[in-house]
Amino acid sequence: MTKKTTNQGIHRRDFIKGAVVGIGASAVMGLGTRKAIAQPKAIKWRMQSLYASNTMTGKFNVRWAKAITELTGGRLHIEFAEPGAIVPPAETFQNVSNGTVEVAGSYGAFHRGIMPEIDIEDGLPFAWETPQECHDAYYNRGLLEEIRKIYAEHNIFYVAPTYCNIIYGYPTVKPVRKPSDFKGMRMRDLGLSADWLSHFGAAPTALPAAEMYMALKMKTIDGVHYGTASLEDFKLGEVCKYYLLEPNTGTTVNNIYANMKAYNALPDDIKKIVRDYSQTFTLPVTMEWDEHRSWMESSKKYGVEGIRWSKEDIEKARKYMVEELWTKVANKSPRCRKLVDLIIAQAKHYGKI
């Protein structure tokens, strides 16, 4: 296997411009003006991404690696690697835990079997409609602290959530105009939404994002659960001529996490940058992710039909998720109950339930 890596750097003016769109611009500028301390040898980390650098999701990881390298004055140099360049994508979590890879940009659902709390970390379907709501849960309601404790039990420091998918629906090879149309379909999906699909008679399967196109083309699967950007990023518009827009299961959360030993070995000031930079990075970068524009452009380019269920079908499907599957997650453990209660309290505050 050939290792593909790209050395990272970032133009300060581009970083500040992006951050100003979101929150904490002054904090970012404060980090950016830290005086670099000369070191005899830079600390080098390898970062493997679950998503290719030319996709919207993968760009999160590329930009984070560049920015950390710049903000530390090169004292922590993070080398980005494409999916599978170092370890198999599905084994990312285990290889960060054991230190084979220092840091990863990934998605929790791939290690759901190891950590039952992943369903809450990823975002309970229908809980969050916007990245701002994700950010509120993580940074204002204590979710980040709880998730960091859980990952620490696996020798991993949870660096940052990365929010994605304003429109999180289903590109499919045949139309799904009502819930029963899912029956018998083979769908690429992970996490709690996969359980939701099973309720409608679909057969969910887990596949790395890079394998979706060929699986659809070869008719191994009939559709995927992914944002509208996938129509162009992964060229799914070539094989999927239908997209289920509503119900929209809501914004989901990917992540950046690091080997705990590697993180603890960093000088204190670099640790602080790695630990705290996420708040000033995540939301501004997300604001550049315009899936409404992606949908308009890609659906026209590839001739994809947008489908919306009836209000009655949407409400029934949502009710099953919130009342049955959220409860199923909460019943897994006292800690899961605590986290689900946190999300329920937020949803009640917003008037959703």
Q: What is the mean pLDDT of residues 126-139?
A: 94
On average, the pLDDT of the chain sits at: 89
Cβ neighbours for 54, distance < 8 A, ≥ 6 positions apart: 233
What is the rounded CA–CA span in Å between residue 322 and residue 176? Answer: 21
pLDDT at 33: 47
Q: DSSP states of 94-127 as a string?
A: HHHHTTSSSEEEE-GGGGTTT-TTHHHHH--TTT
Please determine whether the domains at 5-164+254-286 and 168-250+291-349 fall in the same fold group of CATH. Answer: yes
Condensed to tens digits (0 to 9), the pLDDT of residues 139-195 reads 999 999 999 999 999 999 999 999 987 899 999 999 999 999 999 999 999 999 999
Instruction: Using the predicted structure, report yes or no on whether residue 217 has a pLDDT greater than 80.
Output: yes
Question: Thinking of the domain 168-250+291-349, which architecture would CATH place it in?
Answer: 3-Layer(aba) Sandwich (3.40)
Instruction: Using the predicted structure, report yes or no on whether residue 15 has a pLDDT greater than 70.
Output: no
Q: What is the mean pLDDT of residues 268-296?
A: 86
Q: Which CATH number fits domain 5-164+254-286: 1.20.140.10, 1.10.287.3510, 3.40.190.170, 3.30.565.10?
A: 3.40.190.170
153 versus 294: the higher-pLDDT residue is 153
For tokens 């524009």, name the residue.
Answer: 293
Q: DSSP states of 265-324 as a string?
A: TS-HHHHHHHHHHHHHHHHHHHTT--HHHHHHHHHHHHTPEEEE--HHHHHHHHHIIIII
Instruction: Using the predicted structure, report yes or no on whether residue 310 has a pLDDT greater than 70.
Output: yes
Spans of all domains in the chain: 5-164+254-286, 168-250+291-349
